[in-house]
């Protein structure tokens, strides 16, 4: 199976899981955001080629956090979206901190996991800090832009607020993270930012139909707080 096929399957799986969580309720979406916020920092060390570009395994998960918070904004409220972002941030910090305690323990002669755990959890502090800073900036920017567009257009143009907010925030995220994490380390920052952003734009375009599907009865949230509106 090619990387491209796996990539599409992963996207569809993650988009569908977000829709199901949206249907089940806010708590399920927050749980999903928290899991994705943690796991994306593990998957980022997985490197592979996709359509001739070098990317990391965390891109699809990170993009789906935007989908989840956009659905919270669309069907619930701005405050709850910000809360979901901060809960994901706190969960990530706790996970990153607690894994370091596990690494500090001195392994005995029966231990076989310490080496692999060091590879997975021995994050470079600069990369971790850069990831957390860019996460906070980009996710909150996405929410602000989403609601700014919604306030001007009402329920119309869901595709516009979803894509403009996400693509703008992801551009900021890519620039901030790449600069903070890799500036001065010998990398071609322009190529890194360009290639990574192109993948994120592609995922954002692919998620738009799934955002519209959230209005179908099978995915429409049971805890929706906004009044029913005609969306197009």
Token pair for 175:
């620039």
**Which residue has 């599907």 as its token pair?**
213
Residues 116-128 pLDDT 10s: 888 777 766 777 7
**C-beta separation of 159 from 170 below 8 A:** no
3-state secondary structure of 48: strand
Q: Is 68 part of any domain? A: yes
Q: Which two tokens stand for residue 138?
A: 């980009």
DSSP state of 111: -
Q: What is the pTM of this model?
A: 0.86
Q: What is the pLDDT of residue 221?
A: 84
Report the number of distinct structural domains present in the chain.
1
Residue 230 lies in a domain: no
- Please check whether residue 225 lies inside any domain of the structure: no
Per-residue confidence (pLDDT) for residue 228, from 0 to 100: 46
Whether pLDDT at 97 is above 50: yes
Establish if 44 belongs to a structural domain.
Answer: yes
Q: Residue 20: pLDDT above 90?
A: yes
CB 63 within 8 Å of CB 203: yes
CA 131 to CA 173: how far, in whole Å?
9
Strand-strand pairing, 53-56 and 47-50:
antiparallel
Which pairs from 158-162 meet CB under 8 Å and 24+ separation? 158/74, 158/211, 158/212, 158/231, 158/232, 159/208, 159/211, 159/212, 161/70, 162/70, 162/204, 162/207, 162/208, 162/211
Domain holding 154, by residue range, is 3-103+114-213
Give a yes or no: residue 77 inside a domain. yes
Q: Examine residue 109 and state whether it is found in any structural domain, yes or no.
A: no
Q: Is pLDDT of 230 > 70?
A: no
Helix axes 189-213, 158-182, angle to 10 degrees: 150
**pLDDT number for residue 91:** 92
Residue 222 lies in a domain: no
Does residue 219 lie within any of the structural domains?
no
% pLDDT > 90, the chain: 45
Q: Where are the beta strands (DSSP E) in 34-87?
A: 47-50, 53-56
The residue-averaged pLDDT of 102-129 equals: 82
């Amino acid at each position: 199976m090619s990387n491209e096929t796996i990539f599409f399957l992963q996207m569809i799986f993650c988009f569908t899981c977000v829709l199901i969580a949206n249907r089940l309720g806010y708590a399920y979406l927050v749980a999903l955001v928290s899991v994705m916020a943690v796991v994306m920092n593990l998957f980022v060390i997985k490197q592979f080629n996709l359509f001739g570009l070098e990317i990391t395994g965390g891109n699809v998960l990170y993009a789906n956090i935007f989908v989840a918070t956009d659905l919270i904004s669309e069907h619930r409220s701005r405050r709850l979206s910000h809360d979901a972002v901060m809960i994901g941030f706190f969960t990530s910090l706790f996970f990153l901190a607690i894994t370091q305690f596990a690494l500090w323990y001195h392994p005995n002669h029966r231990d076989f996991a310490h080496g692999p755990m060091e590879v997975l959890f021995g994050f470079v502090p600069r990369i971790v800090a850069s990831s957390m800073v860019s996460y906070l900036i980009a996710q909150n920017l996405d929410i602000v832009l989403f609601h700014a567009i919604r306030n001007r257009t009402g329920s119309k143009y869901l595709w516009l607020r979803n894509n403009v907010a996400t693509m703008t925030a992801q551009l900021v995220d890519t620039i901030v993270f790449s600069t903070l994490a890799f500036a001065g380390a010998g990398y071609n920052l322009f190529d890194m930012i360009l290639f990574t952003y192109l993948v994120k734009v592609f995922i954002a375009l692919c998620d738009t139909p799934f955002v519209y599907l959230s209005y179908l009865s099978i995915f429409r949230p049971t805890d929706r707080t906004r009044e029913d509106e005609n969306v197009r």
